[in-house]
Structure formats: C-alpha cells, structure tokens
Amino acid sequence: MVTVTCDVCEKTRPNDRIPSGKDWILGFDLELETPRTLRRQLTFLDRWDDRRVLDLGAIHLCCEECRLEYIDRSKAA
C-alpha cells in the first residue's frame, strides 16, 4: 500500500476509495536538461488518477491553496 502525502503541507491522503469532500490534485513537475538548455514543465491533471501516483515527476497536493504555494515556490527556483 502506498501512502500519499501533500508535497507542500505533508498532509496524508486517506486510502479509502470513497471520495472525500476535497479532491486532491495530481500534477507533474518535470525537467529536461540538455548541454545548452534547461526546460521545466509544470502540469496539473483535471482529476486524480491512482494509476499515475508513482509516475516520474508526480506531485501530490491536498488543496488549491497548496497548489498555489507549490507554483510560487517553483517560480523562485
């Protein structure tokens, strides 16, 4: 069993299949580096997908506030 935690506030996502009142946000933060460039892509899915939780670059966020905080932190990087 996998325990999913928010990448901003570290809140734990319930493991039940019954959707809780708030839907979690699944996204991807990927970097592509070549000898001449560094490109970063930040993408958020429109719904949670349990099959993609462990994919490369996956980010897990518990609410819209944490999503905005993650974006703000990403801009500073």
Domain range for 32 is 25-76
pLDDT surpassing 70 at residue 2: yes
- Span 7-31, pLDDT tens digits: 999 999 987 665 554 689 999 999 9
Token code pair at residue 10: 């570290």
Classify residue 17: in a domain, yes or no: no
Classify residue 13: in a domain, yes or no: no
What is residue 18's predicted lDDT score, i.e. its pLDDT?
53
Provide the whole-model pTM.
0.83
Helix (H, G, I), strand (E, B) or coil at 55: coil
Classify residue 58: in a domain, yes or no: yes
Over residues 17-46, mean pLDDT: 85
What is residue 75's predicted lDDT score, i.e. its pLDDT?
81
Measuring CA to CA, which residue among 60, 53, 57 is closest to residue 25? 60
Instruction: List CB contacts of 61: < 8 A, sequence separation 6 or more.
Output: 6, 7, 8, 24, 25, 26, 27, 67, 70
Domain count for the chain, please give it: 1
